[in-house]
Every structure is written in C-alpha cells, then in structure tokens.
Amino acid sequence: MAQQFVLKTMLDFAAAHTLRGYPGDCAKLHGHNWKIEVQIVGSKLNEIGMVVDFKEIKRHAKEVIKELDHTYLNDHPHFASTNPTAENIAAYLYQQIAARIGSQTVQMHSITVWENERNCVIYTEN
C-alpha cells in the first residue's frame, strides 16, 4: 500500500443565514460561529519533508471564507439559489478550496463544517 499523508488545519468565520423551506426556528434569521477543518492529502514529500506548508493551505482557505465572513449567506451569489444549509456550505467550501489548492501532488481530502460544538457535516468527493 502506498503511503499517504492527510494534513488538517482549522479556521473559523461568523455568518448568518435563514433556511428556506425549513419547518422550524432555523427558517428565521440566525447566525453561527462556523468552524471548518480542511483536510488535504498527498503522498510525496518535498525536498524539506513536507507535503505542503500549512500556511499555503490556510492562505487558500482564508481566501474562500473571507467572502463569507460576517455576511448574510443568503445574499451570497451561490446561496441565492442554493439553500445555505451546513451540507451546502460544506460542499461549496470544499469545491472552492479544492480549485485553489489542487495540484499533481496534493488534493482536497475532506472538509468538516461545524455550526456549533455538537453538530457538523463532513464532505468529500473521494
């Protein structure tokens, strides 16, 4: 079996949303302090023994979450037609970060999106 390294870094952002069509309180305006765990996978180490620098992973992830931080998610172009559920937020973040970080040596592995300390979504395309 070939070696594989999974690197994980954590970031956070604050944002509000309403869930369209939801039969409960989450249909009302409310917010979360979202936490995300970005996992990258690679099998080769560079000349100094890293798959990729954690700073690079964070830089790409921060570019994506910057557009969501302290916003009303329903106003974001992507979520104008896609309900901003934790599941859809996870898929969006995964795809946006993957487009920035993907290369021949590293790829997105998964993303975990926490809306609070008890509830999260893990999304992957593997």
DSSP reduced 3-state for 74: helix
Q: Is 76 annotated as a binding residue?
A: no
Q: List the Cα angle 28/31/37 in 5-degree steps.
A: 135
Instruction: Return the bridge partners of 18, or none.
Output: none
Q: Which two structure tokens, joined as six digits, stand for 57?
A: 């992973």
So which residues are the catalytic ones?
26, 70, 115
Q: Is 32 annotated as a binding residue?
A: yes
Q: Is 78 annotated as a binding residue?
A: no
Q: What residues form the annotated binding site for Zn(2+)?
A: 17, 30, 32
Binding-site residues from annotation: 17, 30, 32
